[in-house]
Amino acid sequence: MQPGDQIEVETAEEKIKGTYIPSPDSDTLIVKLPSGYNIGVSRKRIKSVKVMQHTTGAAKTAPAAPQALSKGLRKITILHTGGTIASKVDYRTGAVTARFTPEEILGMLPELTEIASIDSRLLSNMWSEDMRFAHYNAMAKEVAKEEGNGVDGVIVTHGTDTLHYSAAALAFALQGIGIPVIMVGSQRSSDRGSSDAALNLISAAYFISNSDFSGVAICMHETISDTTCLILPPAKTRKMHTSRRDAFRPINARPIARVDYAERKIGFMQAYQKRDRQRKPEPRLFKENLKIGILKAHPNLYPQEIEAYNGFDGLVIEGFALGHFPIDKVDEHTEIHKKNLEAIERLCGQMPVVMASQAIYGRLQMNVYSTGRDLQKAGVLGHLSDMTPETTFIKLAWLLSNYPKEKAAGLMTKNLIGEISERTEMDTFLT
């Protein structure tokens, strides 16, 4: 057997078909399954191994980025920011480090150069938890530069932890852009057999090359297997699992499209903005020194937690359910809740304070109970919003970067880029 051969392993219990992968353990045979996952089989259990098809040889290596351009294909630029998609495992320590170069990623995925004329370059090499407003601005400027250079689309590779924050940030900063800008991440590092990087990147490139979509979106696995990817709305998507390959789900919304690269099919699932090369808006960026906080409501909350945000420019409250917070005195143990309300009132006099729901799905309705009405009376915004807390945070920061405080407050509950659904649809829960 040679690495890459298609094999069938028979044990007393089952037959396993897949690709032979070298194992560091001589007692274990490793097979890459069609789903993309690897399975280890103890050699003591194996009755027989058949080679069904020999590998055709070493994998093709994609040309270096500047030479990857070819005639007759749409031009796509891949901008790399690091994260798991651009990482390797250090097998001495088990740690994952962000250290793949753009050329190495292209080399692993020669299919990309058959889909589009690819250029690829590094913007940064960082984990996504280290992103700041300055990095959103850098990405937006580079995307705008590529649009000005005449590319047909841009892929931004990004760590998954805050990919949904960055997608929303680019969607606000690049409103009206006439080409597709697709954010792509990976839950498993690119040198692992179970990596989702290949399908995510290939599907994003295929979507750009074979559709007329424009605007910012996310492309990630639809299921845990290497089957299809979803094109997801940038301000209505959230990472919902720490490690599953289908971790990114639309919240209070439907996916934009499904990409089935194996079948070479794209199926749109909602209306979308079509590309228009004449639209080249200037990026509307973030003020990099803004201080925007997120305060999570919880039992036994003290006013000092609220007062910690004195001096900030804005605050998002992750409230309970319909938009609630511990502000009511109901017995001798809740006397302190009156001070919570007073602290919120003081902050509302200094900055926009906006409610989002910890429930994630559904819509705020702050007129149902007295708690919500009292919070609105104190100045808390957000009534009827169905934005995620992350999108609420990004939108507040972007508004305060581009409008006076009073105008920004008034726009928080206005739908600008699809971040607030016009109506709540039953089939958008846990889709």
Q: Is 160 tagged catalytic? A: yes
Cβ(3)–Cβ(18) under 8 Å?
no
Instruction: Choose, from 77, 81, 157, 160, the residue flagged as catalytic.
Output: 160
Cβ(30)–Cβ(22) under 8 Å?
yes
168 residue type, one letter: A
**What tokens does 291 get?**
């201080």
Dihedral angle over CA of 128, 134, 140, 143, nearest 10: -70
Q: How far apart are CA 97 and CA 56, in angstroms?
A: 31
Cα angle, residue 94 at apex, residues 93 and 97 outer, rounded to 5°: 95
Residue 253, number of CB atoms within 10 A of its CB: 20
Q: Is 84 tagged catalytic? A: yes
Residue 114: partners with Cβ closer than 8 Å, 6 or more residues away = none
Task: Characterize the bridge pairing of strands 353-357 and 38-42.
Answer: unpaired
Cβ(25)–Cβ(16) under 8 Å?
no
Largest CA distance in the chain: 77
Q: What is residue 409's three-state secondary structure? A: helix
Instruction: Choose, from 19, 77, 81, 84, the residue flagged as catalytic.
Output: 84
Instruction: Choose, from 239, 246, 391, 392, the residue flagged as catalytic.
Output: 239
Residue 292: partners with Cβ closer than 8 Å, 6 or more residues away = 312, 313, 314, 315, 316, 393, 396, 397, 400
Instruction: Choose, from 161, 191, 260, 328, the residue flagged as catalytic.
Output: 161
Q: How far apart are CA 196 and CA 182, in angstroms?
A: 16
Q: Which residues are catalytic?
A: 84, 160-161, 239
